[in-house]
Structure 1
Amino acid sequence: MNVIKFGGTSVANAQNISSCISIIKQKSEKESVIVIVSALGGVTDLLLTAAINASEKTETYKEIMQEVETRHLETVKELIPVAGQSSVLSHVKRELNRLETLLDGCFLLGELSERTKDLILSFGEALSSYIITEALKAQGEDTALADSRELIQTNNRFGKAAVNFAVTNKLIFDYIEETEHRVTVMPGFIAKSADGHTTTLGRGGSDYTAAIVAAALEVNTLEIYTDVSGIFTANPKMVKLAEPIPHITFEEAMELSHFGAKVLYAPTIQPILNKDITLYIKNTFEPDAPGSAISKMPEVKSDNPIRGISNIDDITLITVEGPGMVGVSGFSKRLFDVIGKENINVIFITQASSEHSICLGILEAEGKKAEAAINAEFSYEMEQRKIYPAVLENGMSIIAVVGENMKNHQGLSGRMFSSLGKNNINIRAIAQGASERNISAVIDKKDVKKALNTLHETFFEDATVQLNLYVMGVGNVGKKFIEQIQAQAKYLKKNLKMNVRIAGMANSRTMYFDEDGIDLKKWQELLPQGEKSDFKGFISKIKELNLRNSIFVDNTANHDVAATYAQYLKSSIGVVTCNKVACSSEYENYKLLKNLSRQYNAPFLFETNVGAGLPIIDTLKNLVASGDRVKKIQAVLSGSLNFIFNNFNEDNPFDEVVQQAMAEGYTEPDPKIDLSGIDVKRKLVILIRESGYKMEIDDIKTKSFLPDECMATTNNADFIQSLKDNKDYFDNLYNQAKAQYCKLKVVASFKKNKASVSLQMIPADHPFYNLEGKDNIVLFYTDRYADQPLLIKGAGAGADVTASGIFADVIRIGNR
């Protein structure tokens, strides 16, 4: 004997029902089959809405009724051959007319009792089971329809009736003993009270019906067919890397279903729990997929103690607190009694060890009712200020990590809360039973998707970290950065267990987002298709997507972009930047950004601010962190200026070398930033601050080598022209240096809280003399490196090396 059940999505329409019929026919070839079916997908919700609307005298119930009628009649016409349709359509229409009469009655009376509601809702399963029975008959299957109301007896608790198992088990057993049909179809969800009234078993009750039948007949297995291939490690609609759980215990399945795993209705397990019946969750549309097996002693082939992660949305957190609760016996009993009297289900409980407060998690729809009941019960204590009025927090969700063997593994709760904290997911309340089968936490509903993905990554994804990047600026550096990510994606996944995706990008005109990751082969086609670029809109969209491990990457030199860093950090979004504006701005702003980074656990990395891809800032940080103290800095910090002065000679005029540096991407978009010394000052002040000293950029003395008329220009064309006009001046600088066997270098210096930037003639015996091409060089004189300075030297300009430095900062975050 096979007992199988098909859910609402499996019988949503004629096409889906045909898939169910194929499974039933295959099963019935080997042995007799009992089939429990839900209402057509979505019909129960439609019936409930229609009933409520009718009772509120809203005539839209008639439109809903028309939709329900159309769906059932069309399903009949698609499933049943024309020759056999007449009687089936007549029966369905008669039932729909009865339903319409009930709804009209609700409309006229302006009320909807629980008993009437159950009767109205019963039509969904009654109609679907009748239609499926007739469809099976039409295909030659020996099929009978058994009305569950004649086989399952309950009390009169309408909406969620309790089953009388002694009577029910005998009714089911006797019916099956007497029937000779190969296939028996039964409606799920519905039953009948001892005094003959239609009752329902609660939402998801069709699963419960199947379990009741399986337990009564003591079959070996029960198969529940749905639209997914089993119970997943997390909701696959929210966590794309979620996988089916092959084997799971009844207790684990109950925990997951209690905390929102909608593939299984929690009470389903109760009738079969002690009967040693294995429950299979399978996919109607992939019937050969193994699905999930739920049993007492499952075959578990994983060392992972976590079996799944689940969530319940639309939760209200009610907090009751006050000094009058401490040490007062019976308080908790009174609280739960009043909640119980209102028929409110408590999903989550936690109490402070001081007994000063109790938190309850209930469905949001019942929040106001619970609040009124609690305040009424404890009104006297509230007047005495012994207890404060109940506090409601709406818009919450509960997330739960579930596993039978969690109690035997140390540090699981630490990993859970650490991973959530790193992603700025605030936890409002925590509960963990002594059995340690689950750890549950209340969080803001908007953070659920990020929380589920974060926890799934932590416990199930082979230690792979997903980084979601949002790239501002796709010019020379930005393009190279994207190319490098694309080229290294496979390497990072395989060797560093890091999945780096770009979820958003922007230039000065448009911005484009894809929460599944932008296809980097097509980004140049996709970006122009995005919406109008806007700094505020960019960060708003990032917050809206709310993806885990989010990192904002600034490849611009824009002041306005730099001004947004604080907003990112406050939202626990990491910032990686080659833009020197923020860290060289007012000292207080620099300190603010550093403090925000620590406060919100959001990385703020800017290695490329000095030396492009050279590890200058990182080395400096390690020196300071290890207790060394910087006493003096000497550096050539501008790769572009070094390139210019290395290539400037009798044969290469100064203006032409500057234009070459611009063309090769060695300078800022405005070359005057480099040539005026502003860029070097910014780099120097950043090094000074990272060394632990307080300094403003205006405190750095600068002696510009540019004539005043060059500095007065307002655009690049005029600037280049002014360099041409002052050819004699620049030639004279070169000739003076050559005459003294020196080379021209723009040198940044710091010593004893004094700093300067100036063009200097470097003699042949100086470390700076042989600095080639676009190289940078930094000499750190410290307590430990007093006689021989720590020297860092290498390419300090260019889109490739700058992009690689940004990429390195991203990888640093991934390795945290």
Structure 2
Amino acid sequence: MIVMKFGGTSVANAVNINAVKAIALKASQNGKIFVVASALSGITDQLLLASQLASAKNEEFRELLSQIEKRHLDLVRELLPLEIQSSVLSHIKRSLNQLETLLEGCFLLGEKTNRSADAILSFGELLSSYIVYEAIKSVSANVAYKDSRELIVTDANFGKATVDFEKTNQNIREYLSESNSPITIFPGFIASTTSGETTTLGRGGSDYTAAILGAGTSASLIEIWTDVNGMYTSNPKLVKQARTIDAISYHEAMELSHFGAKVLYPPTIQPALDAKIPIAIKNTFEPENPGTLIGGAIEGSGGPIKGISHMENITLLTLEGSGMIGVAGSSKRLFAVLSRHGINVVFITQASSEHSICIGISDSDAGIAESAVNNEFASEISANRISPCILEKGLCIVALVGEKMKSHQGLSGRMFSTLGRNNVNIRAIAQGASERNISVVIEKRDVNKALNSLHETFFEDNIRQINLFVIGVGNVGRRFMDQLKKQQQFLRSDRKINIRVIGISTSRKMVFEENGIDLEQWEMRLEAGNPADIQEMIETVKQLNLHNSVVVDITASSDVAGIYGAFLGKNIAVVTCNKIACSSEYQHYNFLKELSRQYNAPFLFETNVGAGLPIIDTLKNLVASGDKVHKIQAVLSGSLNFIFNNYDGSVPFADIVTEAGIQGFTEPDPRIDLSGLDVARKILILARESGNVMEIDDIERKDFLPEGALNAASVPDFFALISKDEKHFEAMVSKAKEFGSRLKYVAEFADGKASVGLQVIAPEHPFYHLEGKDNIVLFYTDRYFDQPLIIKGAGAGADVTASGIFADVIRVGNN
């Protein structure tokens, strides 16, 4: 004997009901089955709204009733053979006439009772189950229909009735012994009192109906057929990496369903648990998928955590005061008053000091609860022994669930450290003595980040997901995107890092896709995006609130550099090749570093100095290990090194500068490089990272350009000026050649002072043989006093800069 329940999506239309029919007929070949049908998806909500409109004397309920009627009649006409449609349509219309009478009564009286609401809501299942019955009967005569109200007996608690299992089980056993049909169809959700009045079993009660029938018949299996492949390790709508759970215990399933796993109505499990009947969660649209099996002592696969669930729209109610310490019965009074007002408590925690007790309730109950609790403790509040209760609304409960949690140490620590790293503030904590569940209360806005980060920690084989927001896809940015596309699969399989690009922005356009932008089509998606708006971009990144978010700035924009704080303060990492922020006022630079430390948001800018060379990282490691930097000498401009390595007077200086720009060695405005400002920024950053307080104006810059060149009105004007004064540059080169030397643009820092400028370098100096666009840095420290630590290599170019940015992103992934 198998009991099969089909949910609202499974019976939503003719195609789906035909799938249900095929599944039921196949199952009936192996023995007797009971089939429980939910209302068509969305119908229960429409019935509830119609009853509310009618009781409010709003005529719009009639239009809603017409929509309900049309949907069911259209379904019959599409689903059933023409020769049997007439009788079925007549039955549906008679039922709808009864429904209309009930709604008219609510309209005339201007009120809706719980009793009338149950009667109205029952029509969803009554109509759908009858249509399913007729669909199966059209191909098989061996099918019966039974109204669940004739078997399931409850009390008169309309809206969420309590089942009288003794009478119900007796009725079910009697029906089973009398029925010869291999298939019997039942409406879910509904039952009746001993006097025959219709009651309902609570939203999701069709699952419960199946469990009640299963327990009453001692079924071998209860199957819950829905539109997903079983219970998931987390909500797959929020956690894309969530996967189905192959097997789970009754208690684990109960915990997960209680905390929001909507695939199963929580009360369903108890009758199956009592009767030791396994429950299978199956997909109507993938019937061959094994789904999830719920039972006793099921080991299944995986670690101690079986799932991560969450419950939204939670209010924390806190009652505290010295009047609770050592006073017996305070908790009892609190829970008693909530019970009298029908308020369900879903979360409880109390400090060992007895000074306060904190409970979680639904947001919808918050107002009633506040009034009821304050009235109950009015005398203590007036005497200032207890404070008026405190409400915090709009929260969410996140729960780790697993039967084997009690035998594994450190799970709580991993949970809390994961949330802490992602800047998710925990408002309250609860863990039962059974240790099947660790629950925390957090802000609702953090739920996506919390679920994804916890899922990554406990289920994803140490695969860390990084969500990128890329600003700037010019020469360097385009190379970065190409490198990312090429390495995406390798990073996931070899480095256990899954990188998704969530947003891309330029000065003109921006695009965001929460599930990740296809890197094969990013240019097309960007072109079709919205107009760029820097404030809208900031708000979008914040609202998405994705875990392991990284903003990647591949621009030279002061506007973009000015918004780093908005991200770092929200636990969003920043990776940048833009030197403006780190070379801005020391107070701002230090502020960004403090934000990074305070909110555990990496702020990485390796490419600010030396492009892809590990200069800043090496310097940080020296300082962190206790070494002290005394002096820095460096050639830090790949563009200037390229220019002076290639300029010998045979080709005009302006042409060499133009070629450097074409190859991507200079900034878009080459005056930034040729003025020494770019190099000054770099030595300033190195001085600051060495632990020195210094401003850009403290750095001496020695100008080598013709007078007035830097003040040119535009870049073309600048090139015109330097083209006119070619002899100025020829003279500089000739002077260096006289001494067998070369020109290098050198940055120096020593004794708290820094300078940048063109120097004549002798052949014996390490800088002399620096070719092409290479950079070189010499660190003189306590440990490298006589012989400096030297870092040398390509210090400019789109590819190496992109790879340096890429390396910083990987550092975030490994953080």
* Fold-level similarity (TM above 0.5): yes
Q: CA offsets per residue over residues 756-809 of structure 1, 9 Å max, x none? A: 112111111111111111111111111111111111111111111111111000
2:165 aligned with 1:159: no
The one-letter amino acid paired with 2:341 is E
Q: Distance in 2 between matches of 1:770 and 1:494?
A: 41
Match of 1:579, SS state, is coil
Q: Distance in 1 between matches of 2:649 and 2:114?
A: 98
Q: Distance in 1 between matches of 2:493 and 2:183?
A: 52
Match of 1:274, SS state, is helix
Q: Distance in 2 between matches of 1:416 and 1:110?
A: 51
Q: CA offsets per residue over residues 261-306 of structure 1, 9 Å max, x none? A: 000111111112122211111111111111111111214233x111
Tell me which residue corresponds to 2:528: 529
Matches within 5 A, 1:710-749: 710-749=709-748
Matches within 5 A, 1:139-538: 139-302=139-302, 304-538=303-537
Q: Distance in 2 between matches of 1:430 and 1:714?
A: 63
Checking the alignment, whether the CA contact within 8 Å between 1:220 and 1:276 is kept in structure 2 is no
Matches within 5 A, 1:547-696: 547-696=546-695
Q: Distance in 1 between matches of 2:519 and 2:148?
A: 56
The one-letter amino acid paired with 2:378 is S
Q: Distance in 2 between matches of 1:519 and 1:226?
A: 30
Q: CA offsets per residue over residues 646-698 of structure 1, 9 Å max, x none? A: 11102122111111111111001110001001001100110000000101110
Q: How big is the shift at 1:84?
A: 1.3
Checking the alignment, whether the CA contact within 8 Å between 2:246 and 2:301 is kept in structure 1 is no
The one-letter amino acid paired with 2:145 is L
Tell me which residue corresponds to 2:127: 127
Q: CA offsets per residue over residues 434-480 of structure 1, 9 Å max, x none? A: 21101111112222222222211111111111111111111111011
Checking the alignment, whether the CA contact within 8 Å between 1:248 and 1:295 is kept in structure 2 is yes
Match of 1:431, SS state, is strand
Q: Distance in 2 between matches of 1:744 and 1:140?
A: 95
Match of 2:339, SS state, is helix
Q: How big is the shift at 1:239?
A: 1.7
Q: Distance in 1 between matches of 2:672 and 2:539?
A: 31
Q: How big is the shift at 1:714?
A: 2.3
Q: CA offsets per residue over residues 249-270 of structure 1, 9 Å max, x none? A: 0000000000010001111111
2:542 aligned with 1:543: yes
Match of 1:405, SS state, is helix
Q: CA offsets per residue over residues 515-544 of structure 1, 9 Å max, x none? A: 222122222222111111121111111112
The one-letter amino acid paired with 2:351 is A
Q: How big is the shift at 1:94?
A: 1.1
The one-letter amino acid paired with 2:661 is M
2:6 aligned with 1:6: yes
Q: How big is the shift at 1:140?
A: 2.5
Q: Distance in 2 between matches of 1:247 and 1:141?
A: 36
Checking the alignment, whether the CA contact within 8 Å between 1:141 and 1:183 is kept in structure 2 is no
Q: How big is the shift at 1:182?
A: 2.1
Tell me which residue corresponds to 1:76: 76
The one-letter amino acid paired with 2:54 is A
Mean alpha-carbon deviation: is it higher for 293-302 or for 615-624? 293-302
Q: Distance in 1 between matches of 2:389 and 2:727?
A: 83
Q: Distance in 2 between matches of 1:729 and 1:645?
A: 14
Q: Distance in 2 between matches of 1:370 and 1:708?
A: 78
Q: Distance in 1 between matches of 2:738 and 2:320?
A: 85
Q: Distance in 1 between matches of 2:442 and 2:299?
A: 33
Q: Distance in 2 between matches of 1:91 and 1:390?
A: 54
The one-letter amino acid paired with 1:167 is K
Q: Structure 1, unaligned stretches of length 5 or more? A: none
Match of 2:600, SS state, is coil
TM-score, normalised with respect to structure 2? 0.99
Match of 1:310, SS state, is strand
Alignment size in residue pairs: 815
Q: How big is the shift at 1:346?
A: 0.6
Q: Distance in 2 between matches of 1:301 and 1:650?
A: 73
Q: How big is the shift at 1:5?
A: 1.0
Q: How big is the shift at 1:195?
A: 2.3
Tell me which residue corresponds to 1:773: 772
Q: CA offsets per residue over residues 56-87 of structure 1, 9 Å max, x none? A: 22222112111111111112212222221222
Match of 1:748, SS state, is strand
The one-letter amino acid paired with 1:202 is G
The one-letter amino acid paired with 2:607 is T
The one-letter amino acid paired with 2:253 is A
Q: How big is the shift at 1:30?
A: 2.4
Q: Distance in 1 between matches of 2:548 and 2:591?
A: 22
Mean alpha-carbon deviation: is it higher for 594-603 or for 86-95? 86-95
Q: Distance in 1 between matches of 2:459 and 2:39?
A: 35
Checking the alignment, whether the CA contact within 8 Å between 1:25 and 1:141 is kept in structure 2 is no
Following TM superposition, where does structure 1 have runs of at least 4 consecutive aligned residues deviating by more than 4 angstroms? none
Q: Structure 2, unaligned stretches of length 5 or more? A: none
Q: Distance in 2 between matches of 1:526 and 1:14?
A: 37
Match of 1:544, SS state, is helix
Match of 2:301, SS state, is coil
The one-letter amino acid paired with 1:652 is V
Q: Distance in 2 between matches of 1:460 and 1:169?
A: 41
Mean alpha-carbon deviation: is it higher for 605-614 or for 57-66? 57-66
